């Protein structure tokens, strides 16, 4: 096995490596090996890139999906159209009916209290 020595590691990077180590219960050595393997895999295209035939297939699939008609079912999946605004209701937002409010107001004594001509 080859030994690697890393010098002048940024303190924030070292703290992130330690956090991954603690989170997974790995030693620092195991953590660094996992991170290097995953980083290499992603950099070599194993996780992030398609080969040319896959790219052609994906482009044709996307083109086909873009032609799906706008219907009330499957074509709306994932779309975020603005919600419909309800028409303005001129009635007051109350659960009382107007006749009940008028009966209540009629039952209140007139001219008593509240500084009206005391």
The pLDDT tens digits of the residues spanning 4-60 come to 888 898 999 999 999 999 999 999 999 999 999 888 877 776 555 666 777 888 888
**Global confidence as pTM:** 0.38
What tokens appear for 107 in the block? 């039952």
Contacts of 32 (CB under 8 A, 6+ apart): 17
How many angstroms separate the Cα of 22 from the Cα of each of 28, 29, 48, 75, 88?
Answer: 9, 12, 27, 45, 57
Kindly report the average pLDDT of the chain as a whole number: 77
């Amino acid at each position: 096995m080859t030994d690697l020595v890393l010098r002048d590691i940024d303190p924030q990077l070292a703290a992130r490596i330690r956090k991954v180590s603690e989170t997974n219960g790995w030693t620092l050595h195991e953590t660094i090996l996992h991170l290097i393997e995953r980083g290499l895999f992603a950099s070599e295209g194993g996780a992030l890139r398609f080969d040319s035939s896959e790219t052609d297939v994906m482009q044709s699939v996307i083109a086909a999906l873009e032609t799906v008609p706008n219907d009330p079912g499957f074509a709306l999946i994932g779309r975020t159209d603005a919600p419909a605004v309800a028409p303005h209701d001129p009635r007051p937002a109350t659960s009382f009916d107007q006749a009940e409010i008028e009966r209540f107001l009629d039952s209140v004594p007139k001219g008593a209290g509240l500084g009206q001509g005391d």
